[in-house]
A and B are shown apart, each in its own frame.
Chain A
Amino acid sequence: MINDYQTHNCKILKVESESSDSKIFTLSLPYKDFSFEAGQYVMASLPGFGEAPFSINSYFNEKKFIQLTIRKVGVLTSEINKKKKGDIIGIRGPYGNSFPIGIAKGKNVLIVAGGIAIEPVRPIILDAVNNPQKYKKVFIFYGCRDESAMLYVKEYPSWKKACDLNVALDNPKSKKYIKGPVTILFDVVNIPTDSIAYVCGPPIMYKFVLAKMLEKGFRPENIFISLERHMDCAQGVCQHCAIGTKYVCKDGPVFSYAELKDFKTWLSPI
């Protein structure tokens, strides 16, 4: 019987330091014909240290490798961060649904991300960079702690060619960036409210960002949110990630706000 818990060994092809505590791991494909869509995730593991879900953040049309950006936040991630080129990481997946990017074709797009949560939306940004004509205009609102926590800084010049990148930092060390939470950008940048929005951030961010977006006139069905949850099985069995009648691991991680607002328990239970 097929065992979906079986990991596939992926060779680390490249390790790049990214921000003060994160690294981008470029991995060989887990198996032939592996493919994924923007917003999907894999379970990555090291024997002896367990498993955890990570968004795939490379471009989905890239067929030679996948990339994961991993921040040192616990036992497994600290251990993965010690790994070097040529080492092995166990991967199973891809799991979950994806950001519906088809519906954004020819339309304005808004990407709102906070801190490390820019990972799951990076494939959309890379899609815009690779296909400048695909979307009307792409806005990125990125909120971060400070300069040292910002991710993918080296790519900003190429992003800026295709996107309108706006960054707000809680504690900026230079005057280059706006000080404040990511919501501040909604008042600084004139954003077309018919945009299709892709949002990912820490739980605290959603409350304020969504309130701001609704206030500006965004429609709940045009806002797509990627949720983070504790996951063990990634197949809708183990119950850790459940919200209402849905499983974030299987029915998500991407939900439209129209879907989510009916759940009493998505942001904080009851």
Chain B
Amino acid sequence: MNKTQFSKFVEYLLKNNNVIAPQYNVEAKLIIAELKKTSDFYMGTELPLDSWKWFLLPPKQKMFDYKGEKMTEALPSVKKQIFLGVSILDMQALTLLNQIFEQDPYYQEIKKNTIIIGTSHMPKDNFSEYFAKFEENKLEHLQFDIFLAVQNGGYKIYTGSEDGQRFLDNFKYKDYKHVEYAGPIREEGLDLQMVSVMDGMQNFHDQKIWDDLGKRCISCGKCTIACPTCFCFRMFDKSHLEQGSGERNRCWDSCFYNEFTQVAGVAPSAPKHRLMATTAQKIYFWYEHHFVRTPGTYSLPGCVECGRCTRACPADIDIFQTQRDILAARNKKKEK
């Protein structure tokens, strides 16, 4: 598909759909928002500030309405939406979220109304050995509907679902290849880079790395908001003015907040027990989630190396550097 055809395709998508796409805002920041006109659409190597999770796993979501003792499920009402221009790194993040929330009716309600159009664009400064070079066979482990592989003067088009095929057929575009989703786990097994970092954290623990990070980190939680694979949430009830009615909600949480591990004390007035007391413990927990727990549970990378957390961090903590430090400590201890 050449550039002219592609512009027409974007116009075609915009005509009847709610298209969400990267675009610059008035402050010249690349954001993801509803696309109003084709010319606003940004397609390139820069990654938007926030990730696509905002549209699949909204920061606050109603789960139930209650009246008296009756809890009624409140699924989100979503109109069909198209994610246009999702970087391959973000596709990996979405594939992980799809796994984690496979039993979650709220996530699934939004997901089934979402079309994902990905691209092979990668940020210039990247740390992903696996995605640094795009190869066709990498697509079969990612969930998407349409994929645009960048090539000279345009895009090579792939489809990853019947929905994707239908869109292209209706647009009267035939020159695409279909890739059948083969599950999230690659034939060659776990991501090698991920395995090394996981091994470093689990078997070659270097306390100094975490003590240093603990001193720099200010526990603001911005990284957890920026991260495309941070998804933890808490649930809370909100009463309405009418007595006995209200809603049960969930909202994003952050493991950097003090209340994250809080359990009851011995009495209402007694101090609460918090299982993570220091910043070093919190930041270790965050890294452990991404580099140990997620790969351990889902056999998928818990970090897609997008670097958004580094960009968001006011204390200049660089996730790529931390990984280099973990790997260096591992190599050093291995040599001994």
Separation of A240 and B210 alpha carbons in the complex (Å)? 20
B297 interface hit (Cβ, 8 Å): yes
Separation of A203 and B277 alpha carbons in the complex (Å)? 14
Given contacts A6-B71, A230-B261, A233-B235, contact A244 B293 (CB under 8 A): yes
A3 interface hit (Cβ, 8 Å): yes
B71 touches A50 (CB 8 A): no
Picked from B101, B267, B281, B293, the residue with its CB within 8 Å of the CB of A269 is B281
What residues of chain B lie closer than 8 Å to A264, measured between beta carbons? 205
B268 touches A73 (CB 8 A): yes
Shortest CB–CB separation between residue A168 and chain B, in angstroms? Answer: 17
B262 interface hit (Cβ, 8 Å): yes
What are 15 contact pairs spanning A and B, CB under 8 A? Answer: A1-B105, A7-B71, A48-B239, A75-B268, A77-B264, A90-B71, A203-B273, A203-B275, A230-B260, A230-B263, A239-B231, A239-B232, A240-B261, A242-B293, A269-B276
B292 interface hit (Cβ, 8 Å): yes
Q: For chain A, what secondary structure do more than half of its interface residues adopt (helix, strand, loop), or is it mixed?
A: loop
Separation of A75 and B264 alpha carbons in the complex (Å)? 10
What residues of chain B lie closer than 8 Å to A245, measured between beta carbons? 292-293, 296-297
B60 interface hit (Cβ, 8 Å): no
B276 touches A88 (CB 8 A): no
Contact mask B275-296 → A, CB, 8 Å, 1/0? Answer: 1110011001100110011001
A232 interface hit (Cβ, 8 Å): yes
What residues of chain A lie closer than 8 Å to B237, measured between beta carbons? 45, 47-50
B77 interface hit (Cβ, 8 Å): no
Query: By the criterion of a CB under 8 Å from any partner CB, how many residues of chain B are at the interface?
Result: 56
Scan residues 73-114 of chain A and give those whose CB is less than 8 A from a CB of chain B.
73-75, 77-78, 88, 90
Separation of A236 and B248 alpha carbons in the complex (Å)? 19
Given contacts A72-B267, A229-B261, A242-B293, contact A90 B69 (CB under 8 A): yes
Scan residues 76-109 of chain B and give those whose CB is less than 8 A from a CB of chain A.
100-101, 103-105, 108-109
A189 interface hit (Cβ, 8 Å): no
8 smallest CB-CB distances across A and B, nearest first, come from A239-B232, A245-B296, A73-B264, A47-B66, A269-B281, A88-B69, A1-B105, A48-B239
What residues of chain A lie closer than 8 Å to B232, measured between beta carbons? 238-240
For A7, give the chain B residue with the smallest CB separation: B71
B64 interface hit (Cβ, 8 Å): yes
For B235, give the chain A residue with the smallest CB separation: A232
Picked from A3, A74, A237, A268, the residue with its CB within 8 Å of the CB of B100 is A237
Given contacts A47-B66, A229-B261, A270-B207, contact A242 B235 (CB under 8 A): no
A51 touches B235 (CB 8 A): yes
Given contacts A47-B248, A73-B265, contact A235 B293 (CB under 8 A): no
Contact mask B207-242 → A, CB, 8 Å, 1/0? Answer: 100100000000000000000000111111101000
A48 touches B246 (CB 8 A): yes
What residues of chain A lie closer than 8 Å to B64, measured between beta carbons? 5-6
What residues of chain A lie closer than 8 Å to B205, measured between beta carbons? 264, 270
Between B66, B70, B235, B275, the greatest number of chain A beta carbons within 10 A of the residue's beta carbon is seen for B275
A119 interface hit (Cβ, 8 Å): no
Separation of A73 and B266 alpha carbons in the complex (Å)? 6
B50 interface hit (Cβ, 8 Å): no
Between B66, B262, B270, B280, the greatest number of chain A beta carbons within 10 A of the residue's beta carbon is seen for B66
What residues of chain A lie closer than 8 Å to B73, measured between beta carbons? 3, 6
For B281, give the chain A residue with the smallest CB separation: A269
B285 touches A242 (CB 8 A): yes
Shortest CB–CB separation between residue B19 and chain A, in angstroms? Answer: 27
Contact mask A213-232 → B, CB, 8 Å, 1/0? Answer: 00000000000000011101
Shortest CB–CB separation between residue B254 and chain A, in angstroms? Answer: 10
Shortest CB–CB separation between residue A88 and chain B, in angstroms? Answer: 4
Given contacts A50-B236, A237-B100, contact A269 B275 (CB under 8 A): yes
For B274, give the chain A residue with the smallest CB separation: A230
For A88, give the chain B residue with the smallest CB separation: B69
A62 interface hit (Cβ, 8 Å): no
Scan residues 104-148 of chain B and give those whose CB is less than 8 A from a CB of chain A.
104-105, 108-109
Shortest CB–CB separation between residue A185 and chain B, in angstroms? Answer: 21
Given contacts A4-B103, A264-B205, contact A270 B281 (CB under 8 A): yes
For B292, give the chain A residue with the smallest CB separation: A245
B284 touches A269 (CB 8 A): yes
Q: Knowing that A5-B235, A49-B237 are A-B contacts, what are 6 other residue pairs whose CB atoms are under 8 Å apart, sorted by A's residue number?
A: A3-B105, A21-B267, A230-B261, A237-B101, A265-B285, A269-B281
